[in-house]
Chains A and B, each alone.
Chain A
Amino acid sequence: MGSIFQIILQRLALGILTLLIVSIVIFVAVNALPGDFAQAILGQGATDEAVAQIRADLGLDQNYFMRYFSWLGNVLTGDLGISFAQMNFASNMGGDQLVGVVEQIAPRFKATMFLAGVTAMFAVPISITLGVLAALYRNSIFDRAVNITTLSSISSPEFFLAYILILVLAVLNPIFPSLSNVYEGMALGEKLNRTMLPALTLTLVVTAHMMRMTRAAIINLLASPYIEMARLKGISPMRVIVRHALPNALAPIINVIALNLAYLITGVVVVEVVFVYPGIGQLFVDSVKIRDIPVVQACCLIFAAAYILLNLMADILSILSNPRLRHPK
């Protein structure tokens, strides 16, 4: 079993290296900004002393190399800095109760995770069932209908699906609220009720991907000789798929699920904005609009880390489930 741990450690190290390089890319991109943060924080009418004060506070007088490592050190110790909006407020209005970016992000991160979790709970069983059924009755009317529906829902923008769902389930038939005003300490039932529409939108997008890939993975397997053998034995088609094809298709399907959860991360941004869901995506977009660099940087890093982590997990799971991948040629 030593070799498996070795491979996993190898992948993990590779993932951490990627994350490190991504952090450099983000740092370089942010520092390509013209002018200087101090000016950006305080706006046009800032006094020279205030600008100098902020520059010293942020360590902008040091060179890029030092700044990168001090930023990285701060990130690793859980200090993501203070948002420009907060600093601006403090420098103009006085007061020193600054809320750090970490405290801003933490509840929103939890909310986004909740949304992603609810989505996955719907999407995974539905897409696997649909994928198996479509593979079983391939080229039938059912298969074609599912195919056209999923292809359409993959290719529509998220906000189109979101507004259609709002139209049908919130405006015409008031079942769910169209604004997902979720806060901490809410009863779970109420929270679920308000999360339902964004979760359904994301489910529509993700299910389509997962279902198509599940169908392709199973159809791919159906050409194998042992499936032919099972068929010749006279087993029913359902049993061929559930007992013979599905366990072997599990590896690609797990892979697909992990990849789609990674895809959820980008989809979440638009959906959160449509439903005003207080998650990390909304915070990100708001910060992008007001150019609040520390928050943008932190959100970007979190999104990239989650993305890399999920891809890494897909990688490791597929190695674990397929012994052939453990011994690369």
Chain B
Amino acid sequence: MSWLMHLILILIATAVVPWMFRFAGQKFTGNKPFFRDMPFAVAFGYVAGLLVLIAAVSYYFRPLEVNGVPSAGVIFFRWAVQGFIGFAIVAYLFRLFGRAVGTAGTRKLFRAMPLTAAFGVLVILLYAIVSIFAGSIAPYGQEEIFANANIVPGGNPMMGGDPNFPLGTDQIGRDIYSRLIYGAQNTVGIAFATTCLAFFVGGSLGFLAAIVGGWLDQILSRTVDVLMAIPALIFALLLMTIASVWSNQLGVDRTIFMVLIIAMIDSTRVYRLSRAVGQNIVVMDYIEAAKLRGEGMGYLIFKEILPNAMAPLLAEFGLRFCFVFLTIASLSFLGVGIQPPLADWGTMVKDLSQFINFAAFAPNVATAPLLAAGAIALLTVAVNFVVDWMLHKSSGLKD
């Protein structure tokens, strides 16, 4: 019956503690409206949040080792908290920097920027720099194989590490740190190229359908409807099966097929949006005027419609990039995406995933697969934060 007693005690505490919290607040602040009008649920929320915070802080300061055995949970928790606070501080400094330096336009932009968006912009910039200069940043080549395989991350020789390989080497002896950096070039670069291709195809066809209308619009739209009826990842996997046979026969790299397939699948989504946006623009008077001037189709699409459809398309570009990036990472993770020896984060997660099982005894061993997966997550989260802010800004939502 003791658990029943505990349950009753906990229930009583949940009822009483928030009420006491509110009552104390009312007494000490002289019945300020903030406490006076506080609903019970809000008081409960504050108390619960406070308890979680206290628990987190006490867990953070637990000893890192108990009788010589590392307590892995505390170590991972400290890393997570330090990473979170570190990123927040860096994003804050970056926003301060952006407010002080640059043209009047960028400074104004940074002034109204929430911290999450500043974080997003910073991460995107970092990824861009790393992926462009991967060749000169990485200490070793992505295909370079060393004699010692499975060196433990951390660089401590006592623990099976090696200072020359700060993040260790993988199962056939390639430097993980270099491969992570090259992964930025390959994964992000291929995803970016795919998104651009999808936008070029989907965007121009969508605008074309909006301008021409009639049977062309009907054919394109119905085709897109059918292609969108198959879930994207499933369709990509089906087509990759076929592409893998073709690539063996033709001797063309499978990665090129993957770019084409994903660009095709995602261009249907871009087509939908650009057609809808284009249809709203096509009925404007200035399009009529341009048509009467006798301008050609290319001029209409790129000089008249595109500049006016820029804002929604830009937000869509960010989201589409995330989808493409995640699809490529998932395909690589499933073993049919970017092919070795190219370094790629999805494949790295797959190859290194079994090291997670050692996390309880040697936390640093488990970091390699989590770093690769985290690198994917960090970029998509950053892009989403920026897109969220852009959408919020352009929609003018205040409530």
Among A59-67, A108-116, A166-174, A182-190, the one that faces the other chain is A166-174
- Name the B residues within 8 Å of A266 (CB-CB): 231-234
Q: What are the interface flags for A68-105 relative to B under an 8 Å C-beta threshold, 1 for contact and 0 otherwise?
A: 00000000000000000000000000000000000000
Q: Do A172 and B73 contact each other (CB < 8 Å), given the known contacts A156-B376, A157-B330, A269-B237?
A: yes
Partner of B234, one of A21, A32, A40, A300: A300
> Is the CB of B14 closer than 8 A to any CB of chain A?
no
Distance, CA A133 to CA B357, complexed state (A):
37
Among B125-133, B153-161, B174-182, B379-387, the one that faces the other chain is B379-387
Distance, CA A297 to CA B111, complexed state (A):
54
Partner of A155, one of B241, B322, B360: B322
- Inter-subunit contact A151/B384 (CB<8 Å): yes
29 A–B pairs (Cβ distance < 8 Å), ordered by A: A18-B225, A21-B229, A26-B230, A26-B238, A29-B238, A32-B242, A33-B242, A34-B249, A137-B45, A142-B45, A142-B49, A155-B322, A155-B326, A157-B333, A159-B330, A167-B370, A171-B360, A238-B41, A266-B233, A273-B334, A285-B335, A288-B240, A296-B237, A299-B234, A300-B230, A300-B238, A303-B230, A303-B234, A307-B229
> Is the CB of B336 closer than 8 A to any CB of chain A?
yes
- Inter-subunit contact A219/B334 (CB<8 Å): no
- Name the A residues within 8 Å of B330 (CB-CB): 157-159, 269-270
- Inter-subunit contact B376/A157 (CB<8 Å): yes
- Name the A residues within 8 Å of B359 (CB-CB): 167, 171-172
- Name the B residues within 8 Å of A159 (CB-CB): 330, 333, 349, 373
- Inter-subunit contact B356/A166 (CB<8 Å): yes
Contacts beyond the supplied A29-B238, A266-B234: 7 A-B pairs with Cβ under 8 Å:
A22-B230, A157-B373, A163-B373, A167-B370, A238-B41, A265-B234, A300-B238
- Inter-subunit contact B226/A22 (CB<8 Å): yes
- Name the A residues within 8 Å of B242 (CB-CB): 29-30, 32-33
Closest residue on chain A to residue B80 by CB atoms: A164
Partner of B380, one of A138, A155, A289: A155
- Name the A residues within 8 Å of B238 (CB-CB): 26, 29-30, 288, 296, 300
- Residue pairs across A and B with CB atoms within 8 Å: the count is 165
Residue among A26, A159, A222, A303 with most chain B CB within 10 A: A159
> Is the CB of A325 closer than 8 A to any CB of chain B?
no
> Is the CB of A50 closer than 8 A to any CB of chain B?
no
Distance, CA A152 to CA B388, complexed state (A):
12
> Is the CB of A175 closer than 8 A to any CB of chain B?
no
- Name the B residues within 8 Å of A34 (CB-CB): 245-246, 249
- Name the B residues within 8 Å of A289 (CB-CB): 335-336
> Is the CB of A25 closer than 8 A to any CB of chain B?
yes
Q: What are the interface flags for A20-58 relative to B under an 8 Å C-beta threshold, 1 for contact and 0 otherwise?
A: 011001100110111100001000000000000000000
> Is the CB of A201 closer than 8 A to any CB of chain B?
no
| Chain A, 270-329, CB within 8 A of any chain B CB | 270, 273-274, 284-285, 288-289, 291, 293, 296, 299-300, 303-304, 307-308, 311
- Name the B residues within 8 Å of A262 (CB-CB): 231
Closest residue on chain A to residue B325 by CB atoms: A157
- Inter-subunit contact B380/A157 (CB<8 Å): yes
Q: Do A163 and B226 contact each other (CB < 8 Å), given the known contacts A157-B376, A236-B39, A269-B237?
A: no
A50 CB to nearest chain B CB (Å): 20
| Chain B, 343-392, CB within 8 A of any chain A CB | 346, 349, 353, 356-357, 359-360, 366, 369-370, 373-374, 376-377, 380-381, 383-385, 388
- Inter-subunit contact B399/A138 (CB<8 Å): yes
B7 CB to nearest chain A CB (Å): 20
For the complex of A and B, 8 pairs with smallest distance between CB atoms: A156-B377, A155-B380, A160-B373, A155-B384, A266-B233, A266-B231, A303-B234, A171-B359
- Name the A residues within 8 Å of B76 (CB-CB): 167, 172
| Chain B, 239-272, CB within 8 A of any chain A CB | 239-242, 244-246, 249
